[in-house]
Chains A and B, each alone.
Chain A
Amino acid sequence: MIPTAFDYERASSVEEAVHLLQSHKGEARILAGGHSLLPLMKLRLASPAVLVDIGGIQDLKGIAVEGKDLVVGALTTHSELSRDERVKKNLPLLAEAAGLIGDLQVRNRGTVGGNLAGADPASDLPAVALALEARLMVEGPQGAKEIPMEDFILGPLLTALGPDEVVRAVRFPIPAETWKGAYAKFEHPASGYAAAGAAVVLLLDEGGTIKEARVAITGAADMAYRARAVEEALKGEKADEEVFTRAAEQAAEGASFSGDLFASGDYRRHLAQVYTRRALRKAVS
């Protein structure tokens, strides 16, 4: 449980962090909450030469409502996210999902930026970020840019973040119209990660018809994904049990499922369907 030797740098600003990453030419990794990277290092599955600790950068902390967006600083912990009144009021499913991550210690240390940048295929937040169409505010040598969540995750543990880029914050648009959302999770009893987690956002018209649906699933497949077929099946329909059941049957479309010791691919596919329906049901209940 002892990592290989590494150098440690402490950045006092995002710009300095980017500079440090650049100067170490791909040998450096960012240390935020340390709840994804450090376990890998202890098992010697990751051996970065340098850690750039961004934990002291004040700019990366805090939650704010900016116009129509909820902006969450990258260093915001899962605990802060789950307890924040603005999050609970504007995007309750985000607060709820954050409160289901790992255990209390993990939530007290783990950060939103680190979670999304880690791109663990069983992590809870990617599903919620996908369903809320979040955008990651990224800082790099070429300056600032925004990457939509859907373009951010490229594969298991793989993102569009460059080796010298830092996630500054995550921008979660607050749906303008009447909407409902929920996150439902089947927890892996060992790791606490999602064996299947479904996040749903339903934009409704006055009559209760679904104008637009956004459904994202994590944990079940080899990466978090938008369940487009489910969304299509919901669009223009009444938000009722029959519609949900029919739509959720398509939750596994377009994703690839593989098994492990805990659950086979078949079972994970089934869980994706069941938990999509449960999230839909929960959203309107």
Chain B
Amino acid sequence: MAKVFGAAVKRREDPRLIRGKGRYTDDIRLPGMLYAAILRSPYAHARIRKIDAEQAKKLPGVVAVFTGADLEGKVGPIPTAWLPPDSDMKTPAHPALAKEKVRYVGDGVALVVAEDRYIARDALDLIQVDYEVLPTVVDAEKAMEEGAPLLHDDVPKNVAFHWQAGNDPAPAFHEAEVVIRQSFRQQRLIPNAMEPRAAVAQYNSGSGEMTLYITSQNPHIHRVLLSNILGIPEHKLRIVAVDVGGGFGSKIACYPDEALVAFAARELGRPVKWSEGRSENFQATTHGRDGIIHAELAAKKDGTILGLRLRMVANMGAYLSTAGPGVPTILFGLITPGPYTIPQVHVETYGVLTNTTPIDAYRGAGRPEATYVIERLVDLLAMELGMDPVEVRKKNFIPADAFPYHTATGLEYDSGNYQGALEKALKMLDYEGWRKKQEEARKEGRYIGIGWSTYVEICGLGPSQVAGAVGFQGGLYESATVRFHPTGKVTVFTGTSPHGQGEETTFAQVVADRFGIPVEDVEVVHGDTDRIAMGWGTYGSRTTPVGGSAIAVAAERVLEKATKIAAHMLEVAEEDVEFEGGVFHVKGMPDKQAKIQDVVLQAYLAWNLPQGLEPGLEAQSFYDPVNFTYPFGAHACVTEVDGETGEIKILKYVAVDDCGPIINPMIVEGQVHGGVVQGIGQALYEEAVYDENGQLLTGTFQDYAMPKARFFPMFDTDHTVTPAPHNPLGVKGVGETGTIASTPAVVNSVVDALRPFGVKDLEMPLKPEKIWRILSGGKKS
């Protein structure tokens, strides 16, 4: 049988999803189901004087209207579940419906439940809310200033936390021959998963059991949080999230809305559905990034980096979202040295509340911000010293023989070969060739730029002990059950919750490969807390390194038991049995064999099992990794800037990523392509803009520019393979690499293109008018 680990097996999810046979939350229709709609604040900051819902209640078909007062004692506050240590963190109360004050446009004020979704929507217009509009602050640095409008009385100066990490960088700056200083703005982005959020709740008042179908990246986390919010014991609460149409981090958080739907179903004794509209999604689903990083880099004149000092002011939005505080702290700060030997690093982060939609993880979550800063700084250093940016990178890379490597921020990079990835990318790009073309183009008055990004990221989140140490209010192990059925078919239950990444295929490949059975004989089950023992979900590129490893361990346990049975069947000792390609055979006697399917059948018939061995054939694993994984790579981007209009065209894009052994190259390539495009989206197009009153000006796809396939050339992708030494598959995760790497590669490229104009830095997104103004400002050289 051909090896299936490493084969480009077509995604088995696709036929059902493409043909409309998927089961998304909005597809669920239950008998007697009601529909909910949520009235959201049109003001970014206002006191609620009075809510009059009488007119709405009178509308035929309206079943109930609930406001914050109705939730008293029934729906608790929405929690924050990442509490970075030693950060003096203040977690402001986040009621499921605003009672006294609204704090951002989109903050929930009332819940309407009606016989159909049209009536529910119409009823929203009939609710009269008397608002006293208050002064608004949307910018994080302004929110910290004396006299700024205060969002929460218990959070002075709107500063929710102040966190720091690293060591004392003063000696590095004392020793420095060159210091680069630059501030970098990470604009706010809107995740825009293809499927907006939705929830369907069904409550059985007889048994007290609640089933809640939601769009979730982590159903078990949602179960424990919603259990607390709703006062439903965990064993009576079932969360189901089968087909989920993308999340990019925005479906990690526990939102008020899903809790409200469950509350309404319990109150009314009928199933209730709520589906978020796209405009609602722009306002009410978490945003990503948004912060300013003030950076200083100390170096010697030969390009050796000595130290790094960063101060980040992170905009957290109006409330601290579930994992929000972990993003600009742990996930950002610890990886700021990147792939370089920087002995002295200090990072501090202020988490600031503003009258904007709450911020949480968005693909890459903290690591794109960190990579952007260090990769821009390295380019600025090269520019300052007149060195080639590739040389500066090589000079400072952690050598391939220095792993495991301990960073100044306390991480232990497990393995890596940064030079190897860069060398491969240099060849794929034909770097020298492009430098010549760039030179020739400049003579013709054309502006071509070449930009690099060499990155390392923290993935495979992560060891539970570390999760605890960094304030994540949960474990980060993963559960798996691998169950043979009597006919030799296998069901795999994973605690991760894929929502577009393709693990129904790759996990089946892992198991099929190990058991020597067809991929079709393996089914992967995820996203149901009643079917799966425990899980922490899909985010942080953890699904394959942690969830896949759990499956590998469970499969090994299954095989151990199967070997005992096979030995018994073959009438030899266990150590005389070998297993290969789905067949057990006696060592040195290839003809004396038993197929795994036959062994499985015997395990279930139990007519003749070894003494003391229980019937059945399945195993469970709770796999807790010993370290994070550290994927790395080198990306290069060639751009041309239109000298008349400032339009930017990507001429070539090369991505070399190292995610360890590849289970399915087609899926990995898909992840890289999608990630790269998403990162370029930040560099060139995407930006959530609020006006000073806190109104979201980019609230539709007419204004918020998502990258489109036709904007890009085909990407050249390849890989190096450096296994993670500590997990059974050696895999490291690839879901976020593209997003982490591409943004600085593009910006570095455009800055390089505009060198003749004396450009050193550009603020994202690089909209054409911004570039045109530089071009029309005249050449400096």
Contact = CB atoms under 8 A, between A and B. Distances in A.
- State the majority secondary structure of interface residues on A: loop
Contact of B277 (A1, A188, A263, A264): A1
Contacts of A157: none
A32 interface: no
Contacts of A4: 122
A2 B121 contact: yes
A148 B751 CA distance: 48
B121 A190 contact: no
Instruction: Determine the interface band of chain A, counting residues with CB < 8 A from chain B.
Output: 10 to 19
Interface stretch (A137-145, A203-211, A266-274): A266-274
Interface string B704-720: 11111001000000000
Contacts of A191: 701-703
Nearest to A193: B702
Nearest to B124: A2
B121 A274 contact: no
A186 interface: yes
A2 B277 contact: yes
Nearest to A277: B644
Interface string A250-285: 000000000001111001001100100000000000
Contacts of B697: 261
Contacts of B270: none
Contact of B704 (A2, A190, A271, A274): A190
Nearest to B116: A2
A168 to B, nearest CB: 30
B363 to A, nearest CB: 19
Given A261-B697, A274-B645, A2 B702 contact: no
A5 B702 contact: no
Contacts of A103: 708
A179 B314 CA distance: 59
A186 B647 contact: yes
B99 interface: no
A107 to B, nearest CB: 13
A189 B711 contact: yes
Interface in B675-707: 684-685, 689, 697-698, 700-707
B685 A189 contact: yes
Contacts of A188: 705
Given A191-B701, A261-B689, A262-B767, A5 B772 contact: no
A154 interface: no
B769 A2 contact: no
Contacts of A271: 645
B278 interface: yes
B711 A190 contact: no
B47 interface: no
B487 interface: no
B698 A274 contact: no
Interface in B642-698: 644-645, 647, 684-685, 689, 697-698
B698 A261 contact: yes
Interface string B168-189: 0000000000000000000000
A189 B645 contact: no
Given A5-B118, A263-B769, A189 B705 contact: yes
A160 interface: no
B650 to A, nearest CB: 13
B117 interface: yes
A101 to B, nearest CB: 13
Contacts of B703: 190-191, 261-262
Contacts of B128: none
A2 B279 CA distance: 11
Interface centre among B697, B705, B769 (most CB of A within 10 A): B769
* Top 10 A-B residue pairs of the complex, sorted by shortest distance between their CB atoms: A1-B277, A190-B705, A189-B705, A2-B121, A267-B769, A191-B702, A274-B644, A189-B685, A263-B769, A190-B703
Interface of B: 117-118, 121-122, 277-280, 644-645, 647, 684-685, 689, 697-698, 700-708, 711, 767-769, 772
Given A190-B703, A267-B772, 10 more contacts: A1-B278, A2-B117, A5-B118, A5-B122, A188-B705, A189-B705, A190-B701, A191-B701, A262-B703, A263-B769
21 contacts: A1-B280, A2-B117, A2-B118, A2-B277, A5-B118, A186-B645, A189-B707, A189-B711, A190-B704, A190-B705, A191-B702, A191-B703, A261-B689, A261-B697, A261-B698, A262-B705, A262-B767, A263-B768, A267-B769, A271-B645, A274-B644
